[in-house]
Each structure stands twice: as C-alpha cells, then as structure tokens.
Amino acid sequence: MSQFRQPVLFRWNSPGRYEFGRWVPGRAIERDVLASVQPVTMQDIVDMPEGERHGQMVKAYTVDAEIPVHQFGQDRVTFSWCGFEWVVIADECHCGGVIEHRKLVARRVVTEQTP
C-alpha cells in the first residue's frame, strides 16, 4: 500500500502554554507526510455528521501517528494538495493489526483572493 503514498505538506501548531503568567503560543509545524489523497465516496459523506456534509471533501490515508488531529488544546490541522488548502475535520484510526492506517477526512478551505 505504501507505493501509492506521496509526500503531502501538513501544517499545525503545537499547543501553547503559560510561562510565568504569560501565554506563549505554540510553534508552527510544517512537515511532509506520506499519504494517499483520494476523493470521498458517498458512504464517507453518509458517515459524516449531518452538519458536516457540505463542501468539497477528500480523504487522506497515512500511517503517521504524530499528526495531532482533535487533541485537547489543538488548533486545526491543514494540508496542501492539488493547489488547495484542506482542513482536517475527521480522523479514523483503522488499527486492526492487518494494514494499520489512519483515514483523515478534510474539507477544502475556500478563501477570497484579493487582486
């Protein structure tokens, strides 16, 4: 399965902390992760909560366990793919002992571009 994976640039911020009563934001992290990015299927859309079923979505399969999706105090995780920015909205761990992987469902970030 790894022969289908390509380097994909993921971004997130490490959690911030208080030092001597002052808030210190976490540092920005950018890292290439080997992933296979594919369009979502109708079943993937049905599996999403009702309020999350809109917008252009993809899924990224990876074995990287260090991507901190949906952890306490965690900012959003994004990645760049096909010229767009995608924000991860769901994380599924498929750890059955056969082909262990994570499935990250992401929505395209739509931004207004200024001339």
How far CA 59 is from CA of 30, 36, 73, 88, in Å, comes to: 19, 8, 24, 9
* Tokens encoding 115: 């001339």
Torsion sign over Cα 68, 109, 17, 90: negative
For residues 105 and 38, what is the distance between their CA atoms, to the nearest angstrom?
A: 10
What pLDDT tens digit does each residue of the chain (115 aa) get?
445 789 999 999 888 889 999 999 888 999 999 999 998 888 887 777 776 667 788 999 998 888 887 665 557 889 999 889 999 888 888 777 777 888 899 988 876 555 5
* DSSP letter string, the chain: -GGG-EEEEEEEE---EEETTEEEPPPEEEEEEEEEEEEPPHHHHHHS-GGG--S-EEEEEE------TT-TT----EEEETTEEEEEEEEEEE-SSSS-EEEEEEEEPP-PPP-
3-class SS of residue 54: coil
pLDDT of residue 101: 85
